Chain A
Amino acid sequence: MLSLNFSSVLHGQYLHWFLLGAICTLLLFAVSWVIGFLLSLIVVAVRSSGARFLVAAAAGFVGYHRNVPELVQLFVWYFGVPQLLPATWQQLINNTGNSEFIFATIALSLNVAAYMSEDLRSGIRSLPSAQLEAARALGLSYISSMRKVILPQALKVAVPPLVNQSLGLFKSTSLAMAIGVAEMTYVSQQVENESFRTFEAFAVASIFYWTVSFLIMGLGTVWSKRLNMDGTR
């Protein structure tokens, strides 16, 4: 009936494509995660600040990215935003030869920043309000008290949902295929189209995503153990 032949998709040109796709996925994930995480810290600090205009702006940012599908966000950034820019800027972006990757990174990092900021916000809410009051009473500015007192504690609490978001981000990198980023999903489709070995091509992609997801979960466990306070799990 079916004859599975993995070596037919794991040699020569196809293996080369798979490796490039894997590297692209990992790079897209790493860059989006770092930018998204740093941005989420800023967004959650702004959101908890109490200055009404800033809080509304942060809430609007989070609301847009949570309510619009990621694929639509990707299309808006890749096809929509360049049309709004002046022609010289468009030319500059096109000349990088890598505009797909850049726009995919922007879209994915903004999206994950919005979701991560909500997880951090729950972390902050789990802390007693006395923490912020005590920090302010000691003379720390709002930003310093966020940076040195509140966010470190909130992070310890929020590690499980943040690992969840990281896994989601890793799998969302496959959406970038729709705007031409040559990551793993795009490459596995390319291999399938050329070799007609449908199951083998997509099985390789599945095994890749599954393995790296396990690694991410492992990293999350290591991270939470290092942040461990006495008495917390």
Chain B
Amino acid sequence: MLRPLAAISHFIGLFLIATLSMTSVAHADRLKDIQAKGSLICATLSGSQPLAYQDPVTRQYVGFDVDTCAAVAKHLNVLMVHKPITVEARIPELALGRVDLVAAAFGYTKERAEQIAFTSSHYQIPLKIIVASDSGITKFSDLAGKRISTEKGSTPELYVHRVIPSASVVTFQDNASQFLALQQGKVQGFAIGMASGLRFVNESAGKYKFLDEALAYEPTCLGVKKGEPELLAAVNKVLEDMQASGELDALWNKWYGSQTKFNISRGKLIPISAL
């Protein structure tokens, strides 16, 4: 009678000690963990040209976001470990601590800033709507009551609800399906950030175009877990250094510059306090 009781109380005691010691480890500095491990787990999107996509020849992940991750890792003197994620998974992956840094067209909004910590905004891109060139739609008011496709959980979805409230929003899982729905006439507009949407407009040979108005100008940032001030400060410092040395401009021009088919300007490095 007493022996099982003693065994159980020993077990409970060990369990409590283990949990309590784990909770003290949970307060440790993520930046120190990264430097101790020697690697930075960096997440990007996976099907978004030219931000992060698989090169069809080499099957490696390439793109502006991938290069930004690699540069941050290099400046922190650690290796980069790449992880592809979806748009909706960006916040959960950071909040659960499964990735260290997210570079995935992460637009700043106040609601998101309550869930994760944003770095300084390293580029600003307008959010626009793509329509068929022969549809006769020239401004947002023409889209009242019509159907617009966007990505689930994205800032274009948020701003379409705000700017064109009478339009019905249909969301699909990836950019290609959203554009296909536009091509097949199932929706009349496709809301997307200009940087991600340029490839569809350019490859359509004039059949599709951006509307002139912009839904919003979205500051895009990198994201780290909330409550890690050392890591946030370190990444912000890296971004400042890259801006000062021209590395950020060089990376941008490599993917979006005048000799590419995109040719859009980057904007500036805006600290979070100014947003």
Contacts and interface: CB of A to CB of B under 8 A. Distances in A.
A229 B118 CA distance: 68
A186 B88 CA distance: 13
B185 A196 contact: no
Interface stretch (B56-64, B134-142, B176-184, B252-260): B176-184
A192 B153 CA distance: 9
A99 B187 CA distance: 11
Contact of A90 (B173, B181, B185): B185
Nearest to B180: A79
A186 to B, nearest CB: 8
Interface residues of B, number: 21
Interface residues of A, number: 19
A144 interface: no
A192 B115 CA distance: 13
Contacts of B10: none
Interface in A50-104: 79, 82-83, 90-91, 94, 97, 99-100
A99 B114 CA distance: 38
Given A193-B153, A198-B92, A79 B184 contact: yes
Interface of B: 88, 91-92, 111, 114-115, 147, 149, 152-153, 157, 170-173, 177, 180-181, 184-186
Given A178-B172, A189-B88, A193-B88, 15 more contacts: A79-B177, A79-B180, A90-B184, A91-B185, A94-B185, A97-B147, A99-B186, A180-B170, A189-B152, A190-B152, A192-B153, A193-B152, A196-B111, A196-B114, A198-B92
Contacts of A204: none
Nearest to B114: A196
Main secondary structure of the interface of B (DSSP, over half): mixed
Contacts of A227: none
A97 B168 CA distance: 10
A91 B180 CA distance: 15
Given A190-B152, A196-B91, A83 B184 contact: yes
Contacts of A82: 184
20 contacts: A79-B177, A82-B184, A90-B184, A94-B184, A94-B185, A99-B186, A100-B170, A100-B186, A178-B173, A179-B172, A180-B149, A180-B171, A189-B88, A189-B152, A189-B153, A190-B152, A190-B171, A193-B152, A193-B153, A196-B115
